[in-house]
Chain A
Amino acid sequence: MNLKSERRGIHVDQSELLCKKGCGYYGNPAWQGFCSKCWREEYHRARQKQIQEDWELAERLQREEEEAYASSQSTQGAQSLTFSKFEEKKTNEKTRKVTTVKKFFTASSRTGAKKVAQEKIVKQGQLGRERNADNILRDLKEIFTPSWELASPTEAEIQEAKAPSPSINRQASIETDRVSKEFIEFLKTYHKPGQDIYKQCKLFLDTMNHKRDLSIEEQSECAQDFYQNVAEKLQTRWKVPPEKVEKAMDQIEKYIMTRQYKYVFCPETTDDEKKDLAVQKRIRALHWVTPQMLCVPVNEEIPEVSDMVVKAITDIIEMDSKRVPRDKLACITKCSKHIFNAIKITKNEPASADDFLPTLIYIVLKGNPPRLQSNIQYITRFCNPSRLMTGEDGYYFTNLCCAVAFIEKLDAQSLNLSQEDFDRFMTGQTSPKKQESDSFSPDVCLGVKQMYKNLDLLSQLNERQERIVNEAKKLEKDLIDWTDGITKEVQDIVEKYPLEIKPKNQALAAIDSENVENDKLPPPLQPQVYAG
């Protein structure tokens, strides 16, 4: 068979049509050249292998988590890390559609396990061309099941208390257990009222479990009623001194909200998540906003100040990892304090709200904290109201709300830009940095700045040179034009007054010729030589 015929596909060797395994039956390209029987065998084997691999992977994941858990036990600080991992998974599970997007947002530290899971998904995408979507889904479930399927809302308390084998749940329960223990320890100092408080809390949690179907506003209402009732009882019935009431309320909030968190934070019944994504997108679209545009009174070139800015950003991002509203508020307050310090160092005077708000906006824009709206909503709905109403935390929280509101509504006018500039920046056609070389973003290093300055200088020189060349050319042209002009003028004059030789001239000669007596004049003297 020659090449040509093969290309045309007229003549094909018999052997190429047969099953690759050589069983004598015809193969089919759809089955990768196998016959139906051999293909089934082959496919089955590959699948088995894949499943085996998946299992190993799942086991490895599990092991890694156990290890991480073990290490978290030994080191106190690591606790939050493992917890955040749990959170991350939970988010993933709940919003699988947007996992990839969210991954970028979650600020918590990445762990090996997470990466492996991601790799696996990618791998499946490549290998699993022949595998259907169900398979992939099943594998995904293998990875994620422990975090959500084992905890059905109605039996939450039991689940948490018993903590079935998957490590993730165990970690969550450890967190809640720890809080419970602390709570009980704390209540012991209150003696008799302590028991009552505990009973009240338990009762509340039970009621909440039966109210999962209610809208989030109604659940919030319940929580607020509970806060109020308990505070009242603390004061009137149990005669707790006022200064201790606040402390008790904080502990109660911590206890109940640690348990409620997973049901009432960013609930699926609301569009909190949609709003989160909208804000994220908005902040990303505004990446070009400079501190100068916002009139931020912070000079990040001072190392101390830029340090404060980084800390403030870390704090505001950390907010998402907390479960108790009060802890979230504490993050906002910490962030605000860092901002105040940054302003104070820059300006050498106490910072006012005029300075603070723009800086907070800048920090939010720079940090793009995860799930901003969800967090704000959650705090609003489930925080102890007395804290939000008047306290310092409430003030900073309000400012954060303002910052978010400002970012959402921000337009050309609020940045002192022309509408055209604003539109161009928003669509990414230009960035303000290129436009005005003076306003560098503060994180550009000195060398780059120098380079920009030099480039600027060079382009200026270039411009000057061009100008000189142009002017020289112009001069040359002018000169040529000038000579041409003179020539033309001369010609014009010559034409206007042509040179005429008049016959009168002959008369004049006649006058000369009249001097006939000239011949009679003596000859001119001749030099004579005298010998002697």
Chain B
Amino acid sequence: MATGASAAAGGRSFSFKVVLLGEGCVGKTSLVLRYCENKFNDKHITTLQVRAGPEAGGEPVPELPGQGEASFLTKKLNIGGKRVNLAIWDTAGQERFHALGPIYYRDSNGAILVYDITDEDSFQKVKNWVKELRKMLGNEICLCIVGNKIDLEKERHVSVQEAETYAESVGAKHYHTSAKQNKGIEELFLDLCKRMIETAQVDERARGNGSSQSGITRRGVQIIDDEPQVQSSGGCCSSG
């Protein structure tokens, strides 16, 4: 299937789509905000309370630490002379939206699966996502499994050994991060980009250099055979 990689006239440049998956409240948003804008919002902890009753949001707290739409962020990188445009798509993690996953991760080059090291359940969710992604997108997609919140090491409920063994078994890379302390995040994204470039190049070579030098990629080769078929409107991006 097509990648978002494109070689513009002249220097090489790639554009990649990366989806962020994971249960609600594991720190997906914090992670990406830290990476793209180097911001961390302690108040994020309140998310749950506010959820419980929207009325609670009434008292205004002065100063907004993080502005900007945290659910869609872009970052421009230069890796070994290759220009990379990274588009990071945050997804809704609540269980009730799980079925919508395929609409989000269609055509993505990479997926970052985040779990909370203090929450065993969130790791189980990651396993589900991996299974689904491999089924839908095969090995074309670069997977990163991320154990977030290592600043809460004391409350760890998911063992390092277990997580790393699992990641290896499904061909994913495992990382430990802390959005709060800004640990491991830069590394995670850089690594992911390098892997995506590799995959894209391999893919290009496989397709034969001749025709694929084209500038703007054709919207993905349509994979209708095992289309998830979530629902009728699911066709939104595949042919777009």
Those of B42-66 within 8 Å (CB) of chain A = 43-44, 46-47, 50-51, 53-55, 57-58, 60-61, 64-66
CB<8 Å pairs between A and B, sample of 28: A232-B214, A235-B9, A235-B215, A242-B8, A245-B215, A291-B54, A295-B51, A299-B57, A347-B50, A347-B57, A349-B65, A349-B66, A351-B70, A353-B20, A353-B28, A354-B25, A376-B233, A379-B236, A381-B240, A385-B216, A390-B16, A390-B85, A395-B87, A395-B89, A398-B89, A401-B103, A405-B234, A413-B96
Those of A366-388 within 8 Å (CB) of chain B = 373, 376-377, 379-381, 383, 385-386, 388
Question: Given known contacts A232-B216, A235-B9, A376-B233, is B68 in contact with A350 (CB within 8 Å)?
Answer: yes
In the complex, given contacts A297-B57, A405-B99, what are 19 additional A-B residue pairs having Cβ atoms less than 8 angstroms apart?
A239-B9, A291-B54, A295-B94, A301-B55, A347-B46, A348-B57, A349-B41, A349-B47, A350-B66, A354-B25, A356-B92, A358-B92, A385-B217, A385-B218, A385-B240, A386-B217, A398-B103, A401-B103, A405-B100
B237–A388 contact, CB under 8 A? yes
A-side interface mostly: helix
Tell me the nearest residue of chain A to B59, going by C-beta: A348
* B15 interfacial contact with A, CB 8 Å: yes
B interface footprint on A215-236 (CB within 8 Å = 1, 0 otherwise): 0010010001000100110111
Tell me the nearest residue of chain A to B55, going by C-beta: A299
A406 contacts which chain B residues (CB < 8 A)?
Answer: 96-97, 100
A408–B240 contact, CB under 8 A? no
Q: Considering the chains assembled together, what is the distance between the CA atoms of A373 and B100 in angstroms?
A: 17
Those of A390-406 within 8 Å (CB) of chain B = 390-392, 394-398, 401-402, 404-406
Give the shortest distance, in Å, between B108 (CB) and chain A (any CB): 10
Q: Considering the chains assembled together, what is the distance between the CA atoms of A220 and B235 in angstroms?
A: 13
Q: Considering the chains assembled together, what is the distance between the CA atoms of A231 and B75 in angstroms?
A: 24
* A46 interfacial contact with B, CB 8 Å: no
Partner of A405, one of B33, B92, B103: B103
A398–B87 contact, CB under 8 A? no
B71 contacts which chain A residues (CB < 8 A)?
Answer: 351-353, 356, 395
* B231 interfacial contact with A, CB 8 Å: yes
In the A-B complex, list the 3 residue pairs whose CB atoms are closest, starting with the nearest.
A385-B219, A352-B29, A353-B90
Question: Given known contacts A242-B8, A350-B33, A350-B41, is B219 in contact with A389 (CB within 8 Å)?
Answer: yes
Tell me the nearest residue of chain B to A414, going by C-beta: B96
Listed residue (B4, B47, B69, B230) with the most chain A CB atoms within 10 angstroms of its CB:
B69
A242–B9 contact, CB under 8 A? yes
A357 contacts which chain B residues (CB < 8 A)?
Answer: 92, 97, 100
Question: Given known contacts A352-B90, A376-B233, is B240 in contact with A388 (CB within 8 Å)?
Answer: yes
* B169 interfacial contact with A, CB 8 Å: no
Give the shortest distance, in Å, between A232 (CB) and chain B (any CB): 5
* B78 interfacial contact with A, CB 8 Å: no
Tell me the nearest residue of chain A to B107, going by C-beta: A389
Question: Given known contacts A224-B218, A235-B215, A380-B239, is B233 in contact with A404 (CB within 8 Å)?
Answer: yes
B interface footprint on A312-355 (CB within 8 Å = 1, 0 otherwise): 00000000000000000000000011001000101111111110
Partner of A402, one of B46, B51, B61, B104: B104
B43 contacts which chain A residues (CB < 8 A)?
Answer: 348-349
Residues of B within 8 A of A (CB): 4, 8-9, 15-17, 20, 24-25, 28-29, 33, 39, 41, 43-44, 46-47, 50-51, 53-55, 57-58, 60-61, 64-72, 74, 85, 87, 89-94, 96-97, 99-100, 103-104, 107, 214-220, 230-240
Give the shortest distance, in Å, between A482 (CB) and chain B (any CB): 51
Give the shortest distance, in Å, between B110 (CB) and chain A (any CB): 12
A299 contacts which chain B residues (CB < 8 A)?
Answer: 54-55, 57-58
* A292 interfacial contact with B, CB 8 Å: yes
B235 contacts which chain A residues (CB < 8 A)?
Answer: 377, 380
- Size of chain A's interface in residues, with CB distance under 8 A? 66
* A172 interfacial contact with B, CB 8 Å: no
* A296 interfacial contact with B, CB 8 Å: yes
B90–A297 contact, CB under 8 A? no
B104–A398 contact, CB under 8 A? yes
Give the shortest distance, in Å, between A79 (CB) and chain B (any CB): 29
Q: Considering the chains assembled together, what is the distance between the CA atoms of A436 and B238 in angstroms?
A: 43
Listed residue (B60, B64, B92) with the most chain A CB atoms within 10 angstroms of its CB:
B92
Tell me the nearest residue of chain B to A336, going by C-beta: B69
B9–A236 contact, CB under 8 A? yes
Give the shortest distance, in Å, between A364 (CB) and chain B (any CB): 12
Give the shortest distance, in Å, between A6 (CB) and chain B (any CB): 66
* A409 interfacial contact with B, CB 8 Å: yes
B66 contacts which chain A residues (CB < 8 A)?
Answer: 349-350
Give the shortest distance, in Å, between A235 (CB) and chain B (any CB): 4
B237 contacts which chain A residues (CB < 8 A)?
Answer: 380, 388-389, 394, 397-398, 401
* A110 interfacial contact with B, CB 8 Å: no
B72 contacts which chain A residues (CB < 8 A)?
Answer: 392, 395-396
A390–B87 contact, CB under 8 A? yes
B219–A353 contact, CB under 8 A? no
A388 contacts which chain B residues (CB < 8 A)?
Answer: 219, 237, 240
* A122 interfacial contact with B, CB 8 Å: no
Q: Considering the chains assembled together, what is the distance between the CA atoms of A337 and B72 in angstroms?
A: 11
B61–A354 contact, CB under 8 A? no
Q: Considering the chains assembled together, what is the distance between the CA atoms of A275 and B236 in angstroms?
A: 14
Q: Considering the chains assembled together, what is the distance between the CA atoms of A109 and B97 in angstroms?
A: 35
Give the shortest distance, in Å, between B191 (CB) and chain A (any CB): 21
* A19 interfacial contact with B, CB 8 Å: no
* A35 interfacial contact with B, CB 8 Å: no
B64–A348 contact, CB under 8 A? yes
Give the shortest distance, in Å, between A394 (CB) and chain B (any CB): 7
* A161 interfacial contact with B, CB 8 Å: no
A389 contacts which chain B residues (CB < 8 A)?
Answer: 4, 17, 107, 217, 219-220, 237, 240
B58 contacts which chain A residues (CB < 8 A)?
Answer: 299, 301-302
A236 contacts which chain B residues (CB < 8 A)?
Answer: 9, 215
Give the shortest distance, in Å, between B44 (CB) and chain A (any CB): 6
A245 contacts which chain B residues (CB < 8 A)?
Answer: 215
Tell me the nearest residue of chain A to B37, going by C-beta: A350
* A298 interfacial contact with B, CB 8 Å: yes
A402–B97 contact, CB under 8 A? yes
